[in-house]
Structure 1
Amino acid sequence: MQAEAIMTKPVITTHANATIAEAVELMLSNKVSCLPVTDSDGALVGIVSKSDFLRREELGTRRVRPRWLEFDLGPGTTANDYVRSNGRIIHEVMTAHVISAPPGASVAHIVNLMMQHRINNVPIVDRERVVGIITRTDLLPVLIRAMPKAGTTPPDDDLIRRAILAELQGQSWSGGDVIDVRVSDGVVELTGEIVDERQRKAAIVAAENIAGFGQVKDGLFFRIDPFSVMKVS
Structure 2
Amino acid sequence: MLVDTVMTAPVVSVDPSTSIANAAKLMLSLRISGLPVVESDGTLVGMLSEGDLLRRSELGTERKRPWWLEFLASPGKIADEYVQSHGRKVGEIMATGVVTTQRDASLEDIVELMRKHRVKRLPVVEDGKVIGIVARSDLLRALAKTLTAGPAIAGDDERIEAAVTAELNKQSWGGNGMIRVHAKDGTVELTGAIFDERARLAARVAAENIPGVKSVSDQIVSVEPMSGMVLVSPTGS
TM class, shorter-chain normalised?
Answer: 0.7 to 0.9
Matches within 5 A, 1:28-177: 28-70=28-70, 74-147=74-147, 149=150, 152-156=153-157, 158-177=158-177
Q: Which amino acid aligns with 1:155?
A: D
Q: CA deviation at 1:64?
A: 2.8
Q: Which amino acid aligns with 1:168?
A: L
**What SS class does the counterpart of residue 189 from structure 2 fall into?**
strand
State how far apart, in whole Å, the 1-side matches of 2:41 and 2:189 are.
63
Q: CA deviation at 1:185?
A: 4.2
**What SS class does the counterpart of residue 196 from structure 1 fall into?**
coil
* 1:169-223 deviations in Å (ceiling 9; x for gaps): 122332432322233443322223334333222111111122535x212223333
**What SS class does the counterpart of residue 35 from structure 1 fall into?**
strand
Farther-moved stretch of structure 1 (63-72 vs 158-167): 63-72
Q: CA deviation at 1:19?
A: 1.8
Q: CA RMSD of the aligned region, Å?
A: 2.5
TM-score normalised by length of structure 1: 0.83
State how far apart, in whole Å, the 2-side matches of 1:33 and 1:126 are.
23
Q: Which residue of 1 aligns with 2:201?
A: 201
State how far apart, in whole Å, the 1-side matches of 2:111 and 2:204 are.
25
State how far apart, in whole Å, the 2-side matches of 1:151 and 1:35 are.
36
Q: Which amino acid aligns with 2:208?
A: E
Q: Which residue of 1 aligns with 2:16?
A: 16
- Taking only the aligned residue pairs, the percentage that are identical comes to 45
Query: Does structure 1 conserve the Cα–Cα contact (< 8 Å) formed by 2:187 and 2:216?
Result: yes
Farther-moved stretch of structure 1 (108-117 vs 65-74): 65-74
Query: Does structure 1 conserve the Cα–Cα contact (< 8 Å) formed by 2:35 and 2:49?
Result: yes
State how far apart, in whole Å, the 1-side matches of 2:72 and 2:197 are.
46
* 1:144-180 deviations in Å (ceiling 9; x for gaps): 4434615944222x32221110111122332432322
TM-score normalised by length of structure 2: 0.81
Query: Does structure 1 conserve the Cα–Cα contact (< 8 Å) formed by 2:14 and 2:36?
Result: yes
**What are structure 1's unaligned runs of at least 5 residues?**
227-233
**What SS class does the counterpart of residue 174 from structure 1 fall into?**
coil
Q: CA deviation at 1:48?
A: 0.5
**What are structure 2's unaligned runs of at least 5 residues?**
227-237
Give the count of matched residue pairs.
224
Q: Which amino acid aligns with 2:199?
A: Q
State how far apart, in whole Å, the 2-side matches of 1:12 and 1:197 are.
49
* 1:111-136 deviations in Å (ceiling 9; x for gaps): 22222222221111111111111122
